[in-house]
Structure 1
Amino acid sequence: MVPRAPHPPPARRTPGALRDALTLLGWPLVAVLALPAAFAGGGTRRWFGGRGEGQRAQAQAAKDDAAAAFYELDTAQRDLRISIETITAVDDSPAARRAVADFEALGRRIDEVSRQYIEAVDAHDLDRDDLETSAATRARTELSAAKDELGRVKGELDRYTEGLGPLLGKAETQLARLAPAVERARQSLLAATGALDTVRASGLRADALAARLAALAPELTKLNQGAGRHGVPGTLERAEHVARAAEAVRAEAARLPAQAAETDKRLVSLRTRAQALTTRAEAVEPILSELRRRFTASCWQDLQHVPEQAAETVRQAERRLAEARTAREEQRWPDTTALLSTVRALLNETDEAVSAAGDRLRRLNAVQKDPQQEIERTRFAIRDAQRLAMAGRNTPDPRHARPLDEAVARLERAIGTLAGRHPDYWHFLTETDEVRRTVSHVVAGIREERGAGH
């Protein structure tokens, strides 16, 4: 526990206290200062002249100086206690705990020097008519020593206060953030509530958003209970959490009408696409028939299950589409979004499979009509890579030359497969595709190496 500031000396022995009391009674300070002169003529006190009276005056001055030092120390301690309370309200770090312990130690030191000062004041009645010169001298000595000790402790307190600056600054910063943070949280909740009311008025239930907003009610209650109960750091963290969560609800509520409209649009679009794919899937079988009639089995075997697979995939997409429509009617937006994504993926899969059959027939027709075009395209890619590999060199790097030489040989072997009675055009096309991929990889490696070298 932090010690209380020492009690000031009795009013009859503390000029400051006497001055305050007289001021409260409405007596002007000038009149108070004139009191000794006024009473001196009344004969109520015997005044000694000479050296004795000088010693009394010096003792009184020492007493006044000690009282001033005591008042300064007491005021500084009270002000510092407010700073310590500010820090402890915000900070529970080891540094803050050490600061509190040091303040308590200083408080004990202040109590000790204050006790010495009060004892010195109580030990000497400087208003006695029969005050001896030796007593006045002793009083001056003891009161001066008390004043010096009070000053030394005041210096310790000042140095401690200077070292407290960073902790106090941090605490005051957090306290300054507290009220605005709590107000932002309340305003965010108010805005979220308003946005939710607007959405509901448009016919959208937004039950999930309402549940999220309702879950913030206990947090608001704790905010209203204040930092005195829950601490400044906890209250700040809670206020920021409430503000973020409420703002998220508000933003989602504001987007909800547009999301509903976009969902309706996607439902219609995907339904139309599913119908179109059903029609396109029906055209795959005639394509397969032509492939079987004109080309070897290897050119079409991997496609023969496309019609059945496409039909099944479209049926799956339509079932998921119906589920998405139900979720939309029930305003289960996350479920609706997930189902529509599934539908899109299924339709993309079907589209690729259906397109593959038509693309296969188109490419086979082209190479059957003129295989030389595919050959020249591949040779050009190889020659271009070879020129790049030789640029700035007398001999190519084996890491580049070897795969390019293998690509040339692979192309020649692929060309050789066209010489038979029933050429496997699809094998030829897959080989030329692979050759170009290999060449492209070599080119990318050369450019990467030269770019790193520059």
Structure 2
Amino acid sequence: MDKRQSAVESAVQASDQLFPERRMRQLWDPVAQLCYRASAAYLAVTEQAQTPTPTRRPPGELDLTIRQLADAAHAVDQFYDAHRPQLDNASSTLAAVPAVVAQAHTAADTVMARLAGEASAYLEYPSVQSKRSALVDAVVALETAGSANAKREAAARVRSAVTALDDAISAAPTRAQDAKKALSSVQTRMAAARTRAEGLAPAYSALLREFNAASSSDVSGNEAASRREIAAAEAKLEQATTALTSGNPDLALELTASVRAHLSSAEQHVDAVTDRLVLLREVRDNPKAKENEVRFRLRDAQMLAVSRGLTSEWGSVLDAQLDRIDRIAGGLNGRHPDYWAYVTGLDAVKTFISGVVQRMKKQTGSQ
């Protein structure tokens, strides 16, 4: 019984250290108490029997003690059989922790040696530096880990950091070529952005001449904003070119990404004006097209409400949108109607109708 109890006790301790969520100790304690009581009874009987003048013991005490030992041993066997996979897994995992830690250290030493030798030319690359720092931190955490579980988790982080650094070293030789391609790409995009920006001023001027002043008030600063973004992109591009020629392709790629961001912003400023002009001219030429589109959406929504029996809840809400459309359409008057207010107003109604449709479909469990 003692041997069986000790073996299971060790496995339970391993489970507590590695997998406390299994609550193995709580399950084991009642069985352990049976063992302790059986052992105490056995010791009491044997110690009394070994005294020079043993006292007379109650009849059947020895048989009772033997049964206690047998029952306790059987309970240990039952517990082990019931939890064998978890206990064996915990024991083997705990036994493997020293080897896991040693393997993590070996892997870290190997990749660090690679960085100090064949890959030393890439040591200053930010992508390599960051991964190296992460590995150093992971190794320090492993060396200071206390419990077996903490050591396993820290070793896993070391292995992950080793893989990341190894990948960064392997990718380093192609970073320069990647940076050259990226620079060539953004230079082409820069030229295109400048060409597009040249059309902003004429488009804005046309907006002012052809449409109500309110139609362009929100884009009045777009020309200056696009110029600022293109200038910022040019500055970053120059820095990226310098970084590449200085042997720092990582920084060149990072700066190239910044160039793209500035160019995207510049393009958005330009498109906001040129697209506005195209849209307003289309609406001016055929204002009813926009209105009819929204009225069609409204009729569809009303038919949906009827078909799904939701008119009591949504009918008046949708009917109110018809009044909104009429008011917006009635605003197109005068010498210079506010077509932009007309467009944004109808778009707001369309968005509202779409929201009502989605809610009706959700209510009836259909998309």
Superposed pair shares fold, TM > 0.5: yes
2:265 pairs with one of 334, 339, 349: 349
Kept after mapping to 2: 8 A contact 1:90/1:231 = no
1:185 pairs with one of 104, 107, 110: 104
Residues 280-319 of structure 1 aligned to structure 2 (within 5 Å): 280-319=196-235
CA RMSD of aligned residues (A): 4.6
Kept after mapping to 2: 8 A contact 1:411/1:432 = yes
SS of equivalent residue, structure 2 residue 119: helix
2:359 pairs with one of 445, 450, 453: 445
Q: Which runs of 5+ in 1 are unaligned?
A: 1-75, 124-137, 224-229
Residues 394-405 of structure 1 aligned to structure 2 (within 5 Å): 397-405=311-319
1:410 pairs with one of 302, 320, 324: 324
1:55-93: CA deviation from partner (whole Å, max 9, x where unpaired)? xxxxxxxxxxxxxxxxxxxxx656765765676677578
Aligned partners of 1:414, 1:222: CA distance in 2, in Å?
Answer: 71
Aligned partners of 2:15, 2:111: CA distance in 1, in Å?
Answer: 30
SS of equivalent residue, structure 1 residue 422: coil
Structure 1 residues 420 and 188, CA, compared in 2 at 3 Å: closer, same or farther? same
Aligned partners of 1:114, 1:446: CA distance in 2, in Å?
Answer: 83
SS of equivalent residue, structure 1 residue 451: coil
Residue of structure 2 equivalent to 1:370: 286
Aligned partners of 1:315, 1:244: CA distance in 2, in Å?
Answer: 41
Q: Which amino acid aligns with 2:321?
A: A
Deviation at residue 119 of structure 1 after TM alignment:
5.7
SS of equivalent residue, structure 1 residue 420: coil
Aligned partners of 1:303, 1:296: CA distance in 2, in Å?
Answer: 13
1:146-199: CA deviation from partner (whole Å, max 9, x where unpaired)? 997995785477357547735964652333443553465246436644764688
Q: Which amino acid aligns with 2:293?
A: R
1:210 pairs with one of 132, 139, 143: 132
Structure 1 residues 302 and 109, CA, compared in 2 at 3 Å: closer, same or farther? same
Q: Percent identity?
A: 25
Residue of structure 1 equivalent to 2:91: 172
Q: Which amino acid aligns with 1:352?
A: Q
Deviation at residue 310 of structure 1 after TM alignment:
0.9
1:118-145: CA deviation from partner (whole Å, max 9, x where unpaired)? 667xx9xxxxxxxxxxxxxx9xx99xx9
Q: Which runs of 5+ in 2 are unaligned?
A: none
Query: TM-score if structure 2 supplies the norm length?
Result: 0.70
Aligned partners of 1:245, 1:277: CA distance in 2, in Å?
Answer: 41
Kept after mapping to 2: 8 A contact 1:368/1:425 = yes
Q: Which amino acid aligns with 2:316?
A: R
Residue of structure 1 equivalent to 2:73: 158
Kept after mapping to 1: 8 A contact 2:294/2:350 = yes
1:358 pairs with one of 271, 274, 278: 274
Aligned partners of 1:216, 1:421: CA distance in 2, in Å?
Answer: 72
Structure 1 residues 115 and 402, CA, compared in 2 at 3 Å: closer, same or farther? closer
Q: Which amino acid aligns with 1:424?
A: D
Kept after mapping to 2: 8 A contact 1:90/1:232 = no
Residue of structure 1 equivalent to 2:349: 435
Structure exhibiting the larger radius of gyration computed from Cα positions: 1
Residue of structure 2 equivalent to 1:244: 160
Aligned partners of 2:4, 2:308: CA distance in 1, in Å?
Answer: 81
Structure 1 residues 267 and 146, CA, compared in 2 at 3 Å: closer, same or farther? same
Deviation at residue 343 of structure 1 after TM alignment:
4.0
Deviation at residue 450 of structure 1 after TM alignment:
2.7
Kept after mapping to 1: 8 A contact 2:138/2:154 = no
Structure 1 residues 148 and 168, CA, compared in 2 at 3 Å: closer, same or farther? farther
Aligned partners of 2:152, 2:278: CA distance in 1, in Å?
Answer: 68
Structure 1 residues 116 and 408, CA, compared in 2 at 3 Å: closer, same or farther? closer
Q: Which amino acid aligns with 2:232?
A: Q
SS of equivalent residue, structure 1 residue 239: helix
Aligned partners of 2:87, 2:325: CA distance in 1, in Å?
Answer: 80
SS of equivalent residue, structure 1 residue 358: helix
Kept after mapping to 2: 8 A contact 1:178/1:232 = yes
Aligned partners of 2:298, 2:75: CA distance in 1, in Å?
Answer: 81
Residue of structure 2 equivalent to 1:44: none
Aligned partners of 1:168, 1:431: CA distance in 2, in Å?
Answer: 69
Residues 57-68 of structure 1 aligned to structure 2 (within 5 Å): none
Deviation at residue 311 of structure 1 after TM alignment:
0.5
Structure 1 residues 423 and 237, CA, compared in 2 at 3 Å: closer, same or farther? closer
Residues 66-77 of structure 1 aligned to structure 2 (within 5 Å): 77=2
1:232-252: CA deviation from partner (whole Å, max 9, x where unpaired)? 445444433433333343344
SS of equivalent residue, structure 2 residue 335: coil
Deviation at residue 386 of structure 1 after TM alignment:
3.1
